[in-house]
Structure 1
Amino acid sequence: MAMFIAGASRMALIVAGGYLVAFFALASGVVNASIEAVGTRAFIIPTRSVQSLGETVVITLILFVGLAGIMLLQRAAKANAARTQRALLASGFAVLLGGLFLGYLLVSLKL
């Protein structure tokens, strides 16, 4: 019975990970990149209306960095020790702000 539960939780983790990848890819503009940037060899296209597949991958990774920061903040709420809570809060905000900085950096490169 324990083997079945471990297999089921592993399958749920795989499905959840696939869902997150698909959701973040759609949110970062994979449809726009696949339609508009056909035949473009540039990694960053300097316009706001078109993006390349490379930009889509970078934006998806930036979204995962933000998710990691949010998960650290959520773990800080569940921490029992005050020192652990402060460390998780500081690292969560640092990772979240790092992702935000990377997003603004990508937008500034496009303009």
Structure 2
Amino acid sequence: MDKNAALSALSGLGQDTRLEIFRLLVRAGSEGVPAGEIASRLGAVQNTVSAHLKVLDHAGLIRSERDGRVIRYRADMIGFRDLLAYLMEDCCNGAPELCRPVITAVTCNC
């Protein structure tokens, strides 16, 4: 990931509703959540949620898949992993054991 992609991802997460959407999709895992259900779970207007989903998609943090008439959204864990890797790229100034707790905490079987 380069600096511009990282800035885009961080900007995408830097808004309350988008952060809540991303966290919802992370919790949902590979099953994902249909767009309409995202709006209802957050108590938000569908049009507003659609705009936020578009921002997160362009930031490389979520992906969508059409399932008949429904669009299902999932967190893009590869994009998220790449963001975390970029942020930790120069971590610990040559003492990687200092970063181990952070890496362990964010490692999952996604």
TM bracket (short chain): under 0.3
* TM-score, scaled to structure 1: 0.26
Query: Greater Rg, structure 1 or structure 2?
Result: 1
* TM-score, scaled to structure 2: 0.27
Instruction: Write 1 or 2 for the structure with the bigger share of strand.
Output: 2
